[in-house]
């Protein structure tokens, strides 16, 4: 339970100090530090700071690439090396790649989709889906499994000036928007990312808990400037923190990607329903014939079968469901990784 509380605390504030977390959880800062180091080593826990594509107005694209089996891994690694990809996975027997791409400028999108990918040898097909509405996960906010802390603990850990998200289930302002999440940080425009911010964001995408002295050395800014800029970006919603974790370390062995075809009249309702499913860690509406994508994490494939037949099957408006077990993460939350 303490490990889950620490992970939840880091989702609330990725840069919270050990003493701060310990005070909220009623344990010593040494205990938090020791557990966090163990979580990093054994469960792959990693805090990252990422630009919020929703607040910054970026397009986000989900690519489905079908290749020959000998081409999939080299292509996945090439995509993982791109700075605009946030995650890359292999599924469906190692011949399908799913890739999430953030696109700040249309020229980048055209270069990737119309020039580079079509020339890739042994690439059988490319399906590109633009994410048009986020329901849960990522920049929108935590899923229903982030329930290890009380609301009072969440409020205490939330940095000043950043609205605190309530624990699930949520009361939405609108479909897919969690009050207080990075997608809904309050009134006012976000602080736009500048060219000068690139080094700072790159360092935080590798380790969101990088010390201010190291960030100062990386950016060439005084520590006071680094601190001030990070506060500006976080309070405006341009930057958010997330936590990467190997789900199997907590007993969840079956991550599966779902592609759903939903009647347009039911799309918002189905997406909203998925936010209430504890198995769902990410869901978004997309363009294309399969117009809703979700990632679910179950304890095993038998549990996934029950989820599919008992919960998804009962959603009005779902005409078709494709499912693909995620075999390997090549990149997660903006950083190249190993196997699940």
Per DSSP, the residues of 66-81 read: EE-HHHHHHHHHHHHT
pLDDT at 270: 97
Residue-level pLDDT at 204: 93
Structure tokens at 98: 């799913």
Q: CA-CA distance, 97 to 88, in Å (whole number)?
A: 7
Q: Are 244 and 55 within 8 A, CB to CB?
A: no
Cβ atoms 270, 290 nearer than 8 A: no
Q: How far apart are CA 304 and CA 327, in angstroms?
A: 15
pLDDT attached to residue 116: 67
Higher-pLDDT residue of 74 and 114 is 74
What value does the mean pLDDT take over residues 98-107?
75
What whole-number percentage of the chain has pLDDT above 90?
44
Give the CA angle between residues 208, 209, 212 to the nearest 5°.
110
For 195-209, what is the mean pLDDT? 91
Q: Which fold has domain 250-326?
A: Alpha-Beta Plaits (3.30.70)
Q: Is 243 helix (H, G, I), strand (E, B) or coil?
A: strand
Asked whether 7 and 45 are in contact (CB, 8 A), the reply is yes
Q: What is the pLDDT of residue 183?
A: 53
The answer, yes or no, to whether residue 182 has pLDDT greater than 70, is no
**Residue indicated by tokens 């997608």:** 183
Reported as a pLDDT band with limits 50, 70 and 90, residue 206 is: confident
Mean pLDDT of the region 301-330 = 93
Report, as an integer, the average pLDDT of 211-231.
96
Cα distance between residue 8 and residue 11, in whole Å: 5
**Of 37-46, 153-162, 251-260, 279-288, highest mean pLDDT:** 279-288
CA dist 337 and 88 (Å) reads 10
Task: With cut-offs at 50, 70 and 90, classify the pLDDT of residue 264.
Answer: very high
How much of the chain, in percent, has pLDDT values that exceed 70? 82
pLDDT at 44: 82
Q: Band the pLDDT of 213: cuts 50, 70, 90.
A: very high
Residue 82 has pLDDT above 90, yes or no: no
pLDDT at 105: 55
Each domain of the chain, given as residue ranges in start order, spans 2-46+144-184, 250-326
Lowest mean pLDDT segment, chosen from 67-76, 206-215, 293-302: 67-76
Q: Which residues 6+ apart lie within 8 Å of 297 measured at CB?
A: 247, 252, 254, 255, 256, 279, 281
The Cα–Cα gap between 44 and 144 comes to 21
**pLDDT confidence band for 113 (50 / 70 / 90):** low
Q: What is the pLDDT of residue 179?
A: 41
Listed ranges 69-78, 103-112, 143-152; the one with the highest mean pLDDT: 69-78
């Amino acid at each position: 339970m303490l490990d889950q509380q620490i992970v939840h605390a880091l989702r609330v504030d990725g840069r919270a100090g050990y003493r701060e977390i310990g005070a909220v959880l009623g344990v010593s800062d040494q205990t938090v530090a020791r557990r966090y180091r163990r979580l990093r080593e054994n469960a792959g826990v990693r805090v990252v700071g990422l630009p919020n594509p929703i607040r910054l107005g970026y397009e986000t694209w989900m690519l489905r690439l079908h290749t020959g089996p000998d081409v999939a891994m080299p292509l996945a690694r090439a995509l993982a090396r791109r700075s605009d990809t946030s995650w890359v996975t292999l599924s469906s027997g190692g011949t399908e790649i799913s890739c999430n791409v953030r696109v700040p400028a249309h020229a980048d999108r055209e270069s990737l989709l119309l020039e580079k990918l079509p020339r890739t040898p042994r690439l059988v097909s490319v399906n590109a889906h633009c994410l048009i509405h986020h329901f849960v996960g990522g920049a929108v906010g935590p899923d229903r499994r982030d329930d290890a802390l009380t609301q009072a603990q969440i409020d205490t850990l939330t940095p000043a000036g950043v609205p605190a998200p309530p624990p699930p289930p949520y009361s939405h302002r609108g479909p897919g928007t969690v009050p207080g999440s990075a997608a809904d940080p309050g009134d006012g425009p976000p602080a736009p990312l500048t060219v000068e911010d690139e080094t700072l964001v790159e360092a935080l995408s590798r380790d969101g808990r990088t010390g201010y002295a190291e960030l100062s050395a990386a950016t060439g800014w005084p520590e006071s400037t680094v601190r001030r800029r990070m506060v500006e970006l976080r309070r405006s919603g341009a930057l958010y923190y997330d936590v990467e974790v190997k789900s199997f370390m907590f007993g969840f062995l079956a991550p599966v990607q779902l592609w759903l075809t939903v009647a347009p009249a039911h799309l918002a309702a189905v997406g909203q329903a998925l936010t209430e499913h504890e198995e769902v860690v990410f869901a978004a509406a997309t363009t294309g014939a399969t117009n809703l994508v979700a990632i679910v994490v179950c304890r095993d494939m038998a549990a996934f079968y029950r989820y599919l037949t008992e919960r998804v099957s009962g959603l009005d408006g779902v005409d078709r469901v494709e499912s693909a077990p995620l075999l390997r993460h090549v990149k997660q939350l903006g950083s190249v990784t190993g196997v699940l």
